[in-house]
Amino acid sequence: MTWAGEARYIGLGELADAIAQLSAESPRACRRVVVLLDHPPVQVRTLTDLPPVKPRHLAALVAQQAGRFFRRNGQPLVTDAVWVSKGATPVAYAAAVEETLVEAIATGARAAGLWLESIAPAGEMAPLTLLPKAERESRERAARRLTRRLGIGTCVLWLAAGALFFARLAWERRNFERELAALAQPLAAVLQARRELRDAETSLNAITAAERERGLSVVLLATVTRALPDSSVLTSFAWNADGTGVLVGGARHATDVVARLGRLESLGDVRLGAPVVRESIAGREWERFTILFGRDLGRVTRDGS
């Protein structure tokens, strides 16, 4: 303790002056005050016959039945109550004081420029508050206003953050679109070049395959021509890339043609594909033949014969 002072008052009208006097006598600037009331004027009770209501409803219950628990002396009372035990028999502490006294204290504190933190019974460990009703309502309204302002401020901050986010998103999108537009022409050129390269590769592959097949067909035709007997005529030659083909022509003996072609390794499964037709040409007997060659074609022919 750094300082102690004392002031006397006779009536409640002098209480405000006493509070202001004590505040002025303090060697240090005083801005806040906590008021502790002795017995009397405060009344303190231990209550055991209350229903087990919630803590926030206990103070209202005691205030409604203040005349049952405290002496009123014809004056309105300010009360408060808290639970101190919730066993088999709930126990509550309650306190009451005349409302005119606490109102005078609150008025004196305001007049002295002091913030009244609380009014409580002296020597009680339970957190009892005996602020006047008007002061409580004023503080509740202030708390609601503060909560509302904080809520509005939070909403404004969230809206501002959202606006900044969408603005940044729009800015990034514009930058991306500009970069994409700048790269559109080079990208189109690259894609066109890739398509041209792909088309050129396809054309080269087709040309290579055609040249290879043409070379094979020429070699095969020369081989077949050399293998045919002198007394034979080839009127049609069809050859597929899978190695199958059809020979149509005429010879003195069709079986001789089949035998000669059958000895060629480049042809496989040589067989007559249709009955031999005999006809006379220039006074000579000729046999018109249709010869199939190739393994797949030959197998189909055998299966179908």
The answer to whether position 153 is within a domain reads: no
The domain tally of the chain equals 2
Cα–Cα distances in angstroms (integers) from residue 21 to residues 16, 57, 116, 269, in the given order = 9, 39, 16, 133
* Residue ending a domain, choose from 112, 131, 150: 131
- pLDDT reported for residue 300: 36
**Is residue 257, in this structure, part of any structural domain at all?**
yes
276 lies in which domain range?
Answer: 228-304
- Quote the pLDDT of residue 168: 93
Q: Is the pLDDT of residue 114 over 80?
A: yes
What percent of the chain clears pLDDT 70, i.e. is strictly above it? 92
pLDDT recorded at residue 298: 39
* Nearest CA among 9, 175, 254 for reference residue 107: 9
Q: Is residue 68 part of a domain?
A: yes
Query: The domain that contains 49 carries what CATH number?
Result: 3.30.420.380
Q: Are 79 and 58 a contacting pair, CB within 8 Å?
A: no
Q: How many CB atoms lie within 10 A of CB 79?
A: 23
CB 97 within 8 A of CB 38: no
- 122 versus 88: which is more confidently predicted? 122
At 36-76, the pLDDT tens digits run: 888 888 999 888 888 888 888 888 888 888 888 888 888 88
Domain closes at, from 92, 111, 131: 131
Confidence of residue 301 (pLDDT cuts 50, 70, 90): very low
Residue 47 lies in a domain: yes
Any domain includes 143: no
pLDDT of residue 282: 66
Measured CA distances, 50 to 65, 74, 125 (Å) = 11, 24, 20
Integer angstrom CA distances of residue 101 from 32, 66, 78, 108, 208: 19, 17, 10, 11, 115
Q: What pLDDT, on a 0 to 100 scale, did the predictor assign at position 159?
A: 94
Pairing of strands 91-98, 77-85: antiparallel
The residue assigned the tokens 């080079």 is 186
Phi, psi (degrees; rounded to nearest 5) at 80? -160, 155
Average pLDDT, integer, range 81-110? 86
Is the pLDDT reported for residue 128 higher than 50? yes
Tell me if 250 is assigned to some domain.
yes
Mean pLDDT of 163-179: 92
Q: pTM, whole model, 2 decimals?
A: 0.49
Residue 246 has what pLDDT?
Answer: 87
Domain boundary among 87, 111, 131: 131
Q: Is residue 207 part of a domain?
A: no
Evaluate if residue 169 carries a pLDDT over 90.
Answer: yes
- Verify that 16 and 125 share a domain, yes or no: yes
Residue 206 in any domain: the answer is no
Contact (CB, 8 A) for 87 and 36 = no
pLDDT band for position 215 (cuts 50, 70, 90): low
**How far are the Cα atoms of 25, 56, 111, 208 from residue 18, in angstroms, in the given order?**
11, 35, 11, 118
Average of per-residue pLDDT across 110-124: 84
